[in-house]
Chain A
């Protein structure tokens, strides 16, 4: 097989020898599968896929499922985080292995049989709970987004939804309500905060208002039907619906009830926003409502005619009430359809059918949540904050459709 540099290889640029074919379906041949707009990647494709699939028995059932070798779904890692490929996903559940990652000193290896959670401080009785203990409590499952508050990028027209805002993902989380645990330990009524601490090399800590613990906080041990992944806090993590991701402490090892916050590094030096007049805003827990069009978006290539504009919208303060679409750079707006069910503090799908005439234009989406908060333009947000980015930066995203079908990010 020969690939000429600079030339796009086709999927079946290789001839599979008759002998290999006779070797059986389980034997794998290697072909070049082309990922859209990426350089050609080598992927193992079974022989069944190289010929008429109705003329050869397929691969027998296996222990775990596999993604088609024709699908190239990858997170985008940096030293400190890894981003969900929002533009490649459908619906609102993020496959667990594509859930974004942000950690402060790597993913720890934890043996669940040796891992313990200590709950102490302003309680009647301090407890030690293991994963097995947590699983015995009444369980709750809930679909929620989780977003890092540092989820904003700009600066190039060649940025994808993954680049701009890939630090948000959604899962069905299963675990025990923290309020159930609070009742076991008997929280002192004078306690107003609790500290959550992780068992990673950053020994991550955050202070959380006690009311969140009573309202809807959970300790979760499962994600999308299976144990949560090491990257997500295995064997269990705190989960705070609607709050900035950093507070949902992973690899949870300790909860301490207190009558004051701790002012940890992660709630002072980091995860605070410089705002107007030289002020620094702290304890900004709620994720502000945001939406993004994930199709069409860079690096998609589109054709004139019918286009279903699709995306996701969410708010840390409740439900998405409305998503509007503009196909004229924000001059006029029309309601998009929400793909139900519309859940509290959850990514909500939206779609808007539109006929593109092929002339250059810019499409945008904006969400309004149930508190009446409407996602601002970049200009309005930058002016209100006196900054051009930073934590909790959630402006409207605009995509420019070029007459040749390219879709590029509009910056500013």
Chain B
């Protein structure tokens, strides 16, 4: 890196950090133009992003390392989840998690279109009274336990970043995009 470039770079970074630098057209008449760059805030570091970037997409993007099985999940569920969802995920008192046909109310087996959502939601929001306390391994195992109980995966299936996005959910075929855009039709 040559010296001039180094200096230019540090001015740019400093400029950003202090909010002085203006890389955009000056706006006139007290009105900002739509492409004004204000240089407010600070650039995010990888650590800034990593601490919160926990989302998982249906294609598996975001899934962490690790794996789990229903067998391990069963005992974790009994310990950390059963009090609110019932020993088999059916009894409640809170949301029913297991249902294998559409006559049994909305649950993972008959209503959820993607298996990755189970992992994402449990990891971010459960257990309800202690959210965010489960390890990735525990979440894989709980996901496996619930998918197996819903008869979505074969007994003994190991879930990991490769196998989880490949799980086909029975309800996916029922999903239709809302295409209403106003107008006189009632749907």
Contact = CB atoms under 8 A, between A and B. Distances in A.
Contacts of B91: none
Contacts of B120: 205, 262, 264-265
Contacts of A11: none
Q: Which 9 pairs of residues, A with B, have the shortest CB-CB distance?
A: A371-B182, A126-B44, A284-B178, A265-B121, A129-B41, A203-B124, A133-B41, A317-B182, A133-B40
B25 interface: no
Interface of A: 104-105, 116, 118-120, 125-130, 133, 136-138, 179, 183-184, 195, 197, 201-203, 205, 253-254, 256, 258, 260-265, 268-269, 272, 275, 278-286, 317-318, 369, 371-374, 376, 380-381, 384-385
A203 B122 CA distance: 11
Interface in B37-81: 37-38, 40-44, 48-49, 52-59
Contacts of A258: 57
Contact of B114 (A104, A119, A263, A317): A263
User: Helix, strand, loop or mixed for chain B's interface?
Assistant: loop
Given A137-B40, A263-B116, A280 B175 contact: yes
Contacts of A201: 125, 131
B181 to A, nearest CB: 7
A397 B146 CA distance: 41
B35 A183 contact: yes
B100 to A, nearest CB: 16
B114 to A, nearest CB: 5
Interface string B155-187: 000000000000000010011111011111111
20 contacts: A136-B40, A183-B34, A183-B35, A183-B36, A184-B40, A184-B41, A201-B125, A202-B125, A262-B120, A263-B58, A268-B113, A268-B117, A275-B176, A275-B187, A279-B175, A280-B175, A282-B176, A317-B181, A372-B184, A376-B186
B97 to A, nearest CB: 10
B132 interface: yes
A286 B182 CA distance: 9
Contact of A203 (B54, B128, B176): B54
Of the listed residues B37, B58, B177, B178, the one surrounded by the most CB atoms of chain A closer than 10 A to its CB is B178
Nearest to B184: A372
Contact of B178 (A116, A129, A281, A385): A281
Given A127-B41, A269-B106, A282 B131 contact: no
Contacts of B178: 281-285
Given A129-B41, A184-B38, A380 B186 contact: yes
B117 to A, nearest CB: 6
B182 to A, nearest CB: 3
B17 to A, nearest CB: 11
Contact of B131 (A203, A253, A275, A369): A203
Contact of B52 (A118, A261, A285): A118
B174 A280 contact: yes
Contact of A127 (B44, B54, B132, B181): B44
Nearest to A288: B180
A189 to B, nearest CB: 15
B102 interface: yes
A278 B169 CA distance: 15
Contacts of A118: 44, 48-49, 52
